[in-house]
A and B are shown apart, each in its own frame.
Chain A
Amino acid sequence: MKTVLARLLEHPGIWRGRSFTRLDTLSSGFPELDARLAGGGWPKVGLVEILATHLGSGELRLLLPLLATVTQRPQARWCTWIAPPLNPYAPALAARGVNLARMLVVRAAKGPQRAPEWATEQALISGACDVVLTWITDPLRPRIVRRLQLATQRGRTLAFLLRPWSSRVAQEHSPALLRLGIEPRNGGVCLSILKSRGGTMGQWWMALDGAQAQAGG
């Protein structure tokens, strides 16, 4: 009975409240996370905000399986890192399956020029990137986030905004598709879904897989 119902619900003519949009997704590589994300993974197109309590909370390891999958594809576009706070370390990335030939690092100093935001928008609308990761520490106005979200649609790109998690940031309205909070805890991470269009909210503890835990996580 259950399977019949499940099959019935897969009918494209039936829309349920929870899945009002059919999302094209990519697996995050973490089953616990996939299960909670709308569509069963990261959206292929759209803006995702990741709020981390500290730099190095595990936000990069969380994205690594996705980056490896995306850059290994035969027609992979750029995987662009904008304004990374430190130097991405090539041997570690290569060892975990990231194709370095598709990596693009953009150094953009923060300031009144808003270079990181500008570079992000350019990367998004160019259509030349599969994934764009942007580190922004300055406060961001929702208007800018909204603009970036629209830019992801133009270039068919997945963008991650990596921002510090302060109580003020957590309070503000976000036009992003998905908003995740990440906090290191007990050798793993405590993840919170703060906003998810078409998905559920929630908070849980997760290990960042065995090999990576060995790496010091």
Chain B
Amino acid sequence: MAALQLSLAVAPADSPPPAGPPAAPPEQVGHAPAMPELWLGVHLPQPDPALLQRLGVLAQRFTPRVSLEPPDGLVLEVQGSLALFGGAARLYRAFRAGCHAAGAAPVLTLAPTPLAALVAGRSGVSFKVLDSQHLVSAVSTLPLAALRWPPQVLQRLSRLGVYRVGQALRLPRAGFARRFGKETLQMLDQLVARDADLRPLFTVPERFRAKRQFVREREHHGEILQALQPLLRRLAEFLEARQCGITRITCRLRHRNQVHTDCVVRLAQPEAAAARFMEWFAERLGKMALPGPVRSLELRSGELLSRAPVPESLWRPGEHGGGGESGLLSGSLELIERLRMRLGEGAVHGLACEDSHCPEGASRPVSPVAPDFQRDASARPVTRQPARPLWLLEEPQQLREQEGWPQLAGPLRLRHGPERIESHWWEAHGIARDYYHATDGHGIAVWVFRERRPPHRWFLHGLAG
């Protein structure tokens, strides 16, 4: 089949015009008559890419040759499936029933060429042409607008009084090609099966799914993990063969009485190594309480994502510049992932400065940035601001006072200050503080403040570190 399509593809597009109505010219021998095609066209009244995708999956049940015509069209070649479904009429009805079940009411057409099926669907007419001999007469009445040519082409044709496909087919070929472009003529040829129409095939996104039934029920995490291992290894082989990775795996553990537990692992970057999967599942499963013994396991992958294989390096990262940038990058993210898996999502964060007058607001946790090795690290704003402590307390801690003087393991000794920090007057819970660098009784450098408003309490707010 593929070889045939190839030979069709190289057939000259601008062959001399056929003498009469479509008596097959000699250079098209081996074309349509040798392998008749029948296309089922699907036209959605409203463009809906998601629905189109679903119908594409549905169409895969009828034939492997499905191609999408976004945003509202779909064609499938059904000649090879006619015998299986018991004829064109039955296949047509079966497909229509499938569409209705999917909640769609598209216009369905049958034609020997995909373009004819699409164009007929767009013009909304009932169009069931099974035989290529009747094709030209059937398409002649279709409006040219349904071919979706550029507006200026259609406008110029309308000035000539040409509105229908039949009228365009009667125009001299050479002149038509010169005035409206070779592509336009080629589309006309494809419409009436004078030229090959090769379309990219729609393929259903691949997923991995594997199941394992136990002879006896398993209770312990260790046993379950052990049973999971061969499945994960198969998953890794599956991914390796496709040079893909996944970011989401679900393991469904089935118990008695139709009860099941889902163990979902999400990764920050596409992964394909069995050992890595195993590690994540060990981590996840270890934390889960299972409602009962497990009877079977089912592993399902999420969407397959393309994954650039990480070049292996002889040296470890950090050793003679080993690891390389990609290795360094993946290692950095992997560490974050591993820590988050055990300690929780919020437990790992980066730090950033915030433009805030209030000391508490000037530092905030951010999600760690993936290292950008190209960027020069030294490009950072240099701000001249009064010295700040390296540690800040979550909440200022009130200091005990003795004879009006703040105490922290003995009387505080103020060394520098005050630095006055005030928020804007319109802020409801504004601050008005005098900050001092001080030393406590142990000799530790601290950052304290005194409220400017009564009752003028003293607070510890930071440690110099």
Residues of A within 8 A of B (CB): 53-61, 64, 71-78, 84-95, 99-108, 115, 118-119, 122-123, 126-130, 154-157, 184-187, 211-212, 214-217
Would A56 and B351 count as touching, CB distance under 8 A?
no
Would B378 and A72 count as touching, CB distance under 8 A?
yes
Residues of A within 8 A of B325 (CB): 75
Would A100 and B350 count as touching, CB distance under 8 A?
yes
Would B351 and A100 count as touching, CB distance under 8 A?
yes
B15 on interface, CB distance cutoff 8 Å: no
- A58 to B465 Cα, complex, angstroms: 5
B167 on interface, CB distance cutoff 8 Å: no
Would B351 and A99 count as touching, CB distance under 8 A?
no
Q: A90-B352, A211-B387, A215-B387 are in contact. Are A102 and B377 (CB under 8 A)?
A: yes
Q: How far is the CB of A41 from chain B (nearest CB, A)?
A: 17
> What are the interface flags for B291-327 relative to A under an 8 Å C-beta threshold, 1 for contact and 0 otherwise?
0000000000000000000000000111101010100
- A216 to B464 Cα, complex, angstroms: 7
Would B328 and A89 count as touching, CB distance under 8 A?
no
Q: How far is the CB of A124 from chain B (nearest CB, A)?
A: 10
- A127 to B191 Cα, complex, angstroms: 61
Would B377 and A99 count as touching, CB distance under 8 A?
yes
- A141 to B444 Cα, complex, angstroms: 29
Q: How far is the CB of B382 from chain A (nearest CB, A)?
A: 8
Q: How far is the CB of B257 from chain A (nearest CB, A)?
A: 34
Q: How far is the CB of B419 from chain A (nearest CB, A)?
A: 11
Most chain A beta-carbon neighbours within 10 Å: one of B347, B352, B373, B387: B387
Would B385 and A91 count as touching, CB distance under 8 A?
yes
Residues of A within 8 A of B387 (CB): 92, 95, 211-212, 214-216
Would B388 and A86 count as touching, CB distance under 8 A?
no
- A122 to B438 Cα, complex, angstroms: 38
Least CB separation from A130: chain B residue: B318
Q: How far is the CB of B438 from chain A (nearest CB, A)?
A: 7
Residues of B within 8 A of A (CB): 316-319, 321, 323, 325, 328, 331-332, 334-336, 338-339, 342-343, 346-354, 362-365, 368-369, 371-373, 376-378, 380, 383, 385, 387-394, 415-416, 437-439, 442-447, 462-465
Would A215 and B389 count as touching, CB distance under 8 A?
yes
- A88 to B363 Cα, complex, angstroms: 8
Q: How far is the CB of B397 from chain A (nearest CB, A)?
A: 11
Would A89 and B464 count as touching, CB distance under 8 A?
no
Would B339 and A119 count as touching, CB distance under 8 A?
yes
Would B328 and A128 count as touching, CB distance under 8 A?
yes
Residues of B within 8 A of A155 (CB): 316-318
Would A89 and B462 count as touching, CB distance under 8 A?
yes
Least CB separation from B447: chain A residue: A216
Would A86 and B463 count as touching, CB distance under 8 A?
yes
A54-B442, A87-B391, A216-B447 known; 6 other A-B pairs, CB under 8 Å? A74-B377, A90-B354, A91-B388, A127-B323, A214-B387, A215-B445
Would A216 and B416 count as touching, CB distance under 8 A?
yes
Q: Choose from A64, A74, A102 the contact partner of B376 (Cβ within 8 Å).
A: A74
6 sampled A-B residue pairs with Cβ under 8 A: A91-B363, A94-B383, A95-B385, A105-B351, A105-B365, A107-B348
Would B350 and A87 count as touching, CB distance under 8 A?
no
Would B331 and A127 count as touching, CB distance under 8 A?
yes
Residues of B within 8 A of A56 (CB): 391, 444-446, 463-465
Residues of A within 8 A of B391 (CB): 55-56, 60, 84-89
Q: A100-B353, A101-B369, A216-B445 are in contact. Are A86 and B464 (CB under 8 A)?
A: no
Residues of A within 8 A of B373 (CB): 74-75
Would B443 and A89 count as touching, CB distance under 8 A?
no
Would B342 and A93 count as touching, CB distance under 8 A?
no
- A128 to B438 Cα, complex, angstroms: 38
Residues of B within 8 A of A157 (CB): 318
Residues of A within 8 A of B354 (CB): 90
Q: How far is the CB of B165 from chain A (nearest CB, A)?
A: 62
Q: How far is the CB of A188 from chain B (nearest CB, A)?
A: 9
Q: How far is the CB of A94 from chain B (nearest CB, A)?
A: 5
Would B347 and A106 count as touching, CB distance under 8 A?
yes
Q: A108-B343, A128-B328, A216-B437 are in contact. Are A89 and B388 (CB under 8 A)?
A: yes
Least CB separation from B330: chain A residue: A128
- A185 to B442 Cα, complex, angstroms: 8
Would B464 and A103 count as touching, CB distance under 8 A?
no
Would A78 and B343 count as touching, CB distance under 8 A?
no
Most chain A beta-carbon neighbours within 10 Å: one of B325, B368, B376, B444: B444
Q: A87-B391, A127-B317 are in contact. Are A71 and B332 (CB under 8 A)?
A: no
Would B464 and A90 count as touching, CB distance under 8 A?
no
Q: Choose from A89, A119, A216 the contact partner of B438 (Cβ within 8 Å).
A: A216
Residues of A within 8 A of B388 (CB): 89, 91-92, 95, 215
Residues of B within 8 A of A101 (CB): 350, 369, 371-372, 377
Q: How far is the CB of A115 from chain B (nearest CB, A)?
A: 6
Q: Choose from B318, B443, B447 the contact partner of A185 (Cβ within 8 Å).
A: B443
Would A90 and B362 count as touching, CB distance under 8 A?
yes
Q: A54-B444, A91-B363, A184-B443 are in contact. Are A104 and B336 (CB under 8 A)?
A: yes
Nearest 10 CB-CB pairings of A with B: A216-B437, A60-B465, A56-B463, A215-B387, A184-B443, A90-B363, A156-B318, A92-B388, A216-B445, A127-B317
Would A128 and B334 count as touching, CB distance under 8 A?
yes
Would B318 and A71 count as touching, CB distance under 8 A?
no
- A215 to B365 Cα, complex, angstroms: 24
Q: Choose from A107, A211, A217 the contact partner of B445 (Cβ within 8 Å).
A: A217
Would B437 and A215 count as touching, CB distance under 8 A?
yes
- A48 to B438 Cα, complex, angstroms: 29
Least CB separation from B382: chain A residue: A95
Would A77 and B332 count as touching, CB distance under 8 A?
yes
Residues of B within 8 A of A108 (CB): 343, 347
- A110 to B385 Cα, complex, angstroms: 35
Q: Choose from A86, A94, A102 the contact partner of B371 (Cβ within 8 Å).
A: A102
- A95 to B372 Cα, complex, angstroms: 21
Least CB separation from A184: chain B residue: B443
